[in-house]
Structure 1
């Protein structure tokens, strides 16, 4: 299930710290990301922070661009 929940700090900390949450994805500042992961760590909740960026993205299998082992764009095989 995917839920996108913009919320204030109090609600966010409650959700991130809830034992029923399996995984967290966060996009925001480094300071806020540290706090999110600190709260999540109490329950050993997995997380994917995107810190300091403004271009969060989700790439699903079979979609998106191809990259080589170093993360550089590559062309599809011919």
Structure 2
């Protein structure tokens, strides 16, 4: 589970089966639930605000915050 996780896989030189990957940035259902077009690229910040009413990424980059929010978005939408 990740948001724009292909970028992480590429940087880390990791190959992971697509069938086992859940990416909140490409999930049409996640975008639908948040009220965005399925062709629109939606940032984690916008998804967090739309789905969880959270303001994130207000200061320096925090990978732990991103991971927690990504999982919360996934759990909310995929539950």
Higher helix share: 2
Q: Same fold (TM over 0.5)?
A: no
Rg comparison, structure with higher value: 1
TM-score, length of structure 2 as denominator length: 0.25
